[in-house]
Amino acid sequence: QVQLVESGGGLVQAGGSLRLSCAASGRTFSRNAMGWFRQAPGKEREFVAAISWIGGSTYYTDSVKGRFTISRDNAKNTVYLQMNSLKPEDTAVYYCAAHRSNSYYSSSSYNYWGQGTQVTVSS
């Protein structure tokens, strides 16, 4: 069992930055690849970024490449999402998740989820 708690969301103006954190507890965190997803009102949950369990490999959806950075600190059992140059279309609830198997890009590949943190970007 893995428990995930996100924090760091909030209201920010377009062009601003936020850093999301996801604190993990329970099973060995460092053995899981981790991902961030987001869900805007009326839309499907979508992949944002993922990081391998060692942290050497990262993956991003095209719309956030060059603006968002995923990282992890296994000593602190925490994964981060640094979000720069935020746009109104980044507004969503952001979720972190622990990867189980298969594609990093599919939500069905993740078996533990946090409760989400709201990010709102005003124009």
pLDDT in tens, 20-34: 999 998 876 678 899
pLDDT band at 108 (very low <50, low <70, confident <90, very high): very high
Tokens of 26: 């329970």
Beta carbons within 8 Å of 45's beta carbon, 6+ residues apart:
37, 38, 39, 95, 107
Identify the pLDDT of residue 82.
Answer: 98
Identify the pLDDT of residue 28.
Answer: 65
The CA–CA distances, whole Å, from 37 to 17, 26, 123 equal 17, 21, 22
